[in-house]
Structure 1
Amino acid sequence: MKDQPLIDTALKAELSALYSAGDRHYHNLAHIEAMLALAGDYRAQLGDPEAVEAAIWFHDAIYDSKAKGNEARSAALAEEKLAGRTDADRLSRISAMILATATHQLPRFDDAAATRDASLFLDMDLSILGAAPDAFDAYERAVRREYDWVEEPMWRAGRGAVLKDFLARPHIFHTEEFRQRFEPQARLNMARSLEALAMG
């Protein structure tokens, strides 16, 4: 089973089609490619780089801004598509990483390497928060377009609550590497965004 890659060319094509849907303005292939690039940067620190890559490919595979449970549905799709390509333990680790993107709280693993992989994976997913201001602003606009069905007052309240939740955490990022690289800018970006939301 180990000889077969977790994510082969056919599966990449299938997932790429999902990420290329017209209503995806941020949760699209560019987001996946950005995360894969970060996984490349930190590959030497990953215990199971292929499992992290699989989690990246699947974590937003199902994305409907009007639905709850996208993460659970994406994890279920990963379990279905990867069944037979790897062992059950590894599959459950991949699934747990995907599910964790709902709250960005670390899943509980007994294995330190698995915890470390999940920490880096979740940090990669949030790295856009610590991007340069222009890139962060483009991200905010793209997410707003994905929720264009939400009326402005509701959007401001909902988005504001999400940003406040992250800002209230002792750390936005789980790993020291990402805290150093992205945390100061992430806090500046989100504080600025909150200010803009409050001004209406």
Structure 2
Amino acid sequence: MENEPLIDDAMKSELAALYQTADRHYHGLPHIEAMLALAAEHRHLLDDPEAVEAAIWFHDAVYDSRAKDNEAKSAVLAESKLSGRTNPARLARILAMINATATHQLPPLEDEDAASDAALFLDMDLAILGADPNRFDAYEKAVRREYGWVEEPMWRAGRAAVLTSFLARAHIFHTQSFRDRFEARARENLVRSLQVLQGQPQQSPRQT
């Protein structure tokens, strides 16, 4: 039904339960709440805040650190839950945002407003990279716990490759507002984390 909210309280409770399983050390409810707070802060920049909220709620709904299709499965779940609550075009843009979290590259959306919302959504998901050093370090430890089954040498190599790929981008964040706020700190955090992974001497993190 078009007049129903995309994400009602019952659905939020259902999704919240998925995010509170014991194996979620970072990709849990606090991550969703942090993104929702950023969405509220940037609501004036969003064309369809409710669609972005839906993408936030569903983007990590399926999460298995051993799997490589979590984003696709999360999108399938979103499609099954949201079909009938909105029109196909709006649902498609929600699914595009969810699937884009697999690479954090902008999805191919022709509508400029939808593309702008997707850019902000992806930046919200990566905002933790630009957090203060203590929060970033806690994030890194939490992700490592989610991949506790991976042996240390393989973890170091794989994680270093991920962080290096972000550093190699011209911009980690897609939007100017997030670049201004988080880009410099994110690069400092990633370089410092790489030094740890590669056993190099660390630079002192900026304390401001």
TM over 0.5: yes
Shift in Å, 1:128 = 0.0
Q: What's 1:10 paired with? A: 10
Q: What's 2:103 paired with? A: 103
Report the secondary structure of 1:185's partner residue. Answer: helix
Counterpart of 1:19, as a letter, is Y
Report the secondary structure of 2:194's partner residue. Answer: helix
Q: What's 1:189 paired with? A: 189
Report the secondary structure of 1:122's partner residue. Answer: helix
Identity of aligned residues (%): 69
Cα deviation, 1:141-169, whole Å, max 9, x if unaligned, reads 00000000000000000000000000000
Cα deviation, 1:35-82, whole Å, max 9, x if unaligned, reads 000000000110000000000000000000001100000000000000
Counterpart of 1:196, as a letter, is V
Counterpart of 1:168, as a letter, is A
Which runs of 5 or more structure 1 residues have no equivalent in the other structure? none
Q: Give the length in aligned residue pairs.
A: 200
Report the secondary structure of 1:157's partner residue. Answer: helix
Counterpart of 2:36, as a letter, is L
User: Normalising to structure 2: TM-score of the pair?
Assistant: 0.95
Q: Counterparts of 1:17-32 in structure 2 under 5 Å? A: 17-32=17-32
Q: What's 2:77 paired with? A: 77
Q: Counterparts of 1:122-133 in structure 2 under 5 Å? A: 122-133=122-133
Shift in Å, 1:2 = 3.2
The 2-side partners of 1:91 and 1:133 are apart by: 37
Q: What's 1:149 paired with? A: 149
Report the secondary structure of 2:16's partner residue. Answer: helix
Counterpart of 1:165, as a letter, is S
The 2-side partners of 1:81 and 1:38 are apart by: 24
Counterpart of 2:97, as a letter, is M
Contact 2:109-2:115 at 8 Å conserved across structures = yes
The 2-side partners of 1:75 and 1:50 are apart by: 16
The 1-side partners of 2:61 and 2:15 are apart by: 7
Report the secondary structure of 1:199's partner residue. Answer: coil
User: Normalising to structure 1: TM-score of the pair?
Assistant: 0.99
Counterpart of 2:190, as a letter, is M
The 2-side partners of 1:146 and 1:68 are apart by: 14
Contact 2:2-2:84 at 8 Å conserved across structures = no
